[in-house]
A and B are shown apart, each in its own frame.
Chain A
Amino acid sequence: MTWLLDFYNYRIVAQYLDRFAEGLRNTLTAAGFSLVLSLLFGTIIALALLSKRSAFHRPAAAYVAFIRATPLLVQIYLVYYGFPALLPFAKSWNDMYFGIAALVLNSTPYMGEIIRAGIESVPRGQIEGAKAVGMDYGQRLRHIVLPQAFANTLPPLLGQTAVLIKDTSLLSIITVFEFTSAGILLNSERVKPNESFLTIALGYLLIYLVILLLSRGVKQWLAGPAWNAQA
């Protein structure tokens, strides 16, 4: 057993267990809030991108292009230093708020693109049929388009969620105490890189595996109606 303790001393990890738990909790909090908000804003962006009015789709397209062509780390710095300077209400925010704001800003365009592709995947005949029975725009969206689009987009949305959870690791750089920060803390106090970084790598991997299994389950579950209708 000594060779294992030499390479990976799990007793040290056990001492830091509550720190890791705290970090994990913050990671999931940041990811959860960012997921909900970016889905919400992503739907708005998707509708703006699909709009025929250039007053809607041009700003949306410019925003999507800016986010997709710049690194998340730089966006985090821009939010972290920019929000308190530009927005008066952001002065009293703590680091977690800035982190979530940056993640939402970053993942909204990706969610928006997925939702847009999902909406476009609904066959035209469905919308025409809904019009023929006298549904208005809101009814068509609610009863016809969004449910089918949702089924088509669930697997890529889960993939993007996995990306979002991994992206929360960058919040450690603006001193949010999330999962990666717990590893960095252990390494800086004990100088034990194996115990620090292999532990967090394993933690992230487990979260990823859960989402992977979920994604496979969803594909099985949806393999009936929505997917076959497309082909």
Chain B
Amino acid sequence: MLNPDLVGRTFTSADSVTVTKAAIQKFAEVIGETNIEVAPPTFAISITLEQSQSLLQDSGLDWTRVVHGDQKFEIKRPIVAGDVFHCSSTIESARNVAGNEIVTVRSDLNSASELVVSTWSTLVVRA
């Protein structure tokens, strides 16, 4: 069970993540993208998935039972190689539907004070 007191709380990673050209290229190759000057639109998930799991590991959320329900990206500017991000994750909402817990996690990638990409993941924790 997710700890309900954590809804609305934001957790920010202490360590930064640096985007490399190799990481962009690897992601781009999988989808057949040849332009690697900027990251593909969904590249942010390769950072926010791991970061949010780590930031929310003590939340009571059972990641082994999680199914990805939906996903949203807001891209203020494209991610480029050399970006150094801190990730902030917030449990925006949690509700129970037919015994399944439905949790929305927002993760923001900030470069210094600039918000670059926001991601929202709705996770269904199966009963």
Q: Do A and B come from one complex?
A: no
